[in-house]
């Protein structure tokens, strides 16, 4: 949900964003909403298909994405539909959603209610279409804040629990075993091999470096074995996300062919 006009309240945006995320988790299909001041010099049809192609809404090879674009100053709106939904969210159905659910509320000035009603009806229509079940993949753009606890636990495990394995197996092998265990647990919980590999590598690196630092004799800058020294402290690791709803959407690789409908109010 991206509002570049400040039309919706923060509570409206949060509520609608959560509804869209819950629908994606349950059905697999992605629906995006974008409110802009104007699409000029492009028509709303040109603008919508360009945004849909750039954001790649919907799953790759399933193409089950849709986007509702509202050009507030132009008083135009459009529902752009991915290839995989054109059989159920047809041009006629999209136009009826605009005319019956969205435009009447827009004319009365209630944009939040109009968008909510339109999205709800789009969801009901898509629910009637048999689509592949959603996978357990992780959407980094949407869930970066949710992943912070995962990285925190991985750091704790690599330093604390990993110390047990490094003491038994040695620094290198112990760190490798720790990273592997962290990766396996991450994959089991989140179902993302890519994320599991990244967290596992992070656990290995942090554990290995932490063990090196723990081997330095305090106040001397030299290791207990006398073979390694450092004149400066090591770099830190931090994770954080910039502002959300920054005008972009992270899709799954879906494709669009111009299906959908436009309207005004």
Range from 67-71, 192-196, 248-252 that averages highest in pLDDT: 67-71
Phi, psi of 63 (to 5 degrees): 55, 45
Q: What is the DSSP string of 51-62?
A: HHHHHT-SBTTT
The CA–CA distances, whole Å, from 164 to 78, 170, 207 equal 59, 10, 11
User: Residue 119 above 70 pLDDT?
Assistant: yes
The pLDDT, as a whole number, for residue 106 is: 95
Query: Residue 209, by phi and psi: left (phi above 0), alpha (psi -120 to 50) or beta?
Result: alpha
Helix (H/G/I), strand (E/B), else coil: 193 = helix
Q: What is the pLDDT of residues 199-208, one digit of tens each?
A: 667 766 766 6
| DSSP-derived pairing of the beta strands 30-36 and 2-3 | parallel
Q: What percent of the chain has pLDDT over 70?
A: 58
Q: What is the pLDDT of residues 45-96, one digit of tens each?
A: 999 999 988 888 888 888 888 999 999 999 999 999 988 888 888 999 999 9
Least confident of 65-74, 153-162, 221-230: 221-230
Least confident of 172-176, 188-192, 221-225: 221-225
pTM, rounded to two decimals: 0.57
Cα–Cα distance measured from residue 183 to residue 196, given in angstroms and rounded to the nearest whole number: 4
How many CA within 13 A on the CB side of residue 11? Answer: 1
Helix (H/G/I), strand (E/B), else coil: 230 = coil
pLDDT average, residue stretch 140-145: 46
User: Residue 26 above 50 pLDDT?
Assistant: yes
């Amino acid at each position: 949900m991206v509002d570049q006009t400040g039309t919706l309240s923060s509570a409206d945006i949060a509520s609608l964003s959560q509804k869209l995320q819950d629908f994606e988790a349950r059905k697999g299909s992605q629906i995006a909403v974008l409110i802009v001041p104007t699409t000029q010099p492009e028509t709303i049809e040109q603008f919508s298909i360009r945004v849909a192609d750039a954001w790649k809404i919907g799953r790759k090879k399933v193409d089950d994405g849709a986007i509702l674009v509202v050009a507030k100053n132009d008083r135009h709106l459009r529902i752009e539909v991915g290839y995989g939904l054109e059989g159920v969210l047809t041009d006629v159905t999209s136009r009826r959603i605009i005319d019956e659910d969205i435009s009447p509320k827009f004319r009365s000035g209630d944009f939040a209610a109009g968008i909510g009603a339109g999205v709800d009806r789009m969801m009901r229509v898509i629910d009637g279409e048999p689509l592949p079940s959603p996978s357990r993949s992780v959407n980094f753009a949407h869930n970066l804040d949710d992943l912070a606890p995962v990285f925190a636990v991985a750091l704790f495990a690599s330093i604390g629990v990993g110390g047990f394995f490094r003491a038994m197996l040695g620094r290198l092998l112990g760190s490798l075993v720790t990273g592997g265990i962290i990766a396996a647990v991450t994959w089991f919980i989140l179902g993302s091999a890519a994320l599991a590999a990244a967290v596992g590598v992070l656990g290995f690196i942090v554990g290995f470096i932490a063990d090196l630092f723990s081997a330095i004799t305090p106040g001397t800058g030299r290791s207990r074995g006398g073979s390694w020294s450092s004149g400066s402290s090591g770099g830190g690791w931090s994770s954080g996300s910039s502002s959300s709803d920054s005008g972009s959407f992270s899709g799954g690789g879906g494709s669009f062919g111009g299906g959908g409908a436009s309207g005004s109010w």
